[in-house]
Amino acid sequence: MVVLKSIKIFKLDIALREPFRISFQTFTHLNNVLITLTSTDNISSCGEAAPFKPITGDSREEAIRFLQLAAGRLIGRDIRDLHELHMILSELEHDSGLISQTAKTALDTAFLCLIGKIENKPVFKLLGVSKPNIVKNTLTIGIKSIQDTVRTVKEYMRDFSESGLSRIKLKLAGDSEKDINRVIKVAEVFDGELTLDANQGYVDPEIAARTFNRMYEEIGERIILIEEPCPKGDIDKLKYVKEHSEIPIFADESAATFEDAKKVIEHEAADGINIKLQKAGGIYWGKKIAELANDYNIKLMTGCMLETGISIAAGVNFASAMKGMINTDLDSDLTLPINIVEKPLPFQNGARIPIDKPGLGISLRKEIRDIINGTLSLIPVF
């Protein structure tokens, strides 16, 4: 038996180096929740919730409330049965009417890390592979002017040349001409591969498909995929773009939870699914999405919200253990002004690599609670 003794919950706020803009939002801070778990034999692990209501469906307040309620049901339990733990969380959702995918993700991450430490295995091995699959990773550029975009591309090429950077992801604004010009400019400066993310910016699927096909004519197969062209949940529009675009279309916001992803997969409305653990409810649910997608021969990528090295480590372990994973977008920790983990998982040969250490392969910096310099704040709430 490995019994859960305590759960601690903290608000985690980090100012970003520069504002990050996507089609419908600009972020200046990461506003997450950090949890630490300790077992009765004093082994501990951590997890992270990265809520953003329009994408994950929950606010930070809801995530914290869910974690507080979950603590009441989980403390004293044997934590080695992940299925059983998720059943307890599903019951809690049912009883409380409160749903927080990101809180479940934080718990799932911390449970798997703790199980890994007890079994002396890295999380990717717990997921069934003896050697991690190496998947190329993108660095993301938010919506900016062409000039600023090109400047960031050059900075990335300079700062991450030793990491073997070979893919860049560009956020699209939903304005055909501007998007096409910007993508062409980036392709001139950067000779690697590109992924694009419309974040629902194209209301008209015909315009989306036409725009993407013009990009394809200009740049060809160096654009390997485009995420979420149209308003989320509109499966017909998504499927229209998928059927008319030369570039593979991936569902992201439309495939948030297992149930959402199931709908997209069963309608064959996308060529691929972007599994973000924070919207799926953790690796337990992400794996179910991956297995279903594999059955339909639908490709996978793993993305992230604004996450630190903790939640990114969960994504890296997950992505490197799933079949059909062709891309990762696990980069948000690389450009934060502060690291809260001792050693972030490596970015090498263009890929994020899990390491062969028990659990997630990362640990919280010891001095982290002492750092109060305006960049980071860590407030205990439970």
Span interacting with Mg ion, options 136-144, 208-216, 246-254, 315-323, rule CB under 5 A: 246-254
Q: Give yes or no for residue 331 binding Mg ion (CB under 5 A).
A: no
Contact stretch for Mg ion (CB under 5 A) within 186-194, 250-258, 259-267, 351-359 = 250-258
Select 227 or 260, whichever has its Cβ closest to Mg ion: 227
Q: Which two tokens stand for residue 195?
A: 């992924």
Interface map 37-66 toward Mg ion (x if CB under 5 A) = ------------------------------
Nearest approach, Cβ of residue 253 and Mg ion (Å): 7
CB 145 within 8 A of CB 171: no
Q: How far is the CB of 252 from Mg ion (least distance, A)?
A: 4
> Which regions of 113-172 does DSSP assign to beta strands (E)?
138-141, 167-171
In this complex, which beta carbon is closest to Mg ion, that of residue 257 or of residue 377?
Answer: 257
If 0-12 CB within 10 Å is exposed, 13-18 middle and 19+ buried, where does residue 115 land?
buried
Q: Does 260 bind Mg ion (CB under 5 A)?
A: no
- Identify residues 225-244 at the interface with Mg ion (CB under 5 A): 227
Nearest-angstrom CA–CA distance, 108 and 285: 9
Contact 102, 50 (CB under 8 A): yes
Whether 322 and 290 have beta carbons less than 8 Å apart is answered as yes
The residues that bridge with 29 in the sheet, in sequence order, are 15
Token pair, residue 1, equals 């038996």
Give the integer Cα–Cα distance in Å for 278 and 60. Answer: 12
- For residues 341 and 313, the answer to whether their CB atoms sit within 8 Å is yes
The site string for Mg ion over 348-367 (x = CB under 5 A, - otherwise) reads --------------------
| Least distance from Mg ion to the Cβ atom of residue 299, Å | 15
Choose between 62 and 228: whose C-beta lies nearer to Mg ion: 228
Question: What residues between 189 and 218 interact with Mg ion by CB under 5 A?
Answer: 197
* Shortest distance, position 238 Cβ to Mg ion, whole Å: 13
Which of 333, 307, 330, 358 shows the shortest CA–CA distance to 135?
A: 330
The only residue of 252, 260, 271, 307 in contact with Mg ion, by rule CB under 5 A: 252
3-class DSSP state of 197: strand
Q: Residue numbers of the site for Mg ion (CB under 5 A)?
A: 197, 227, 252
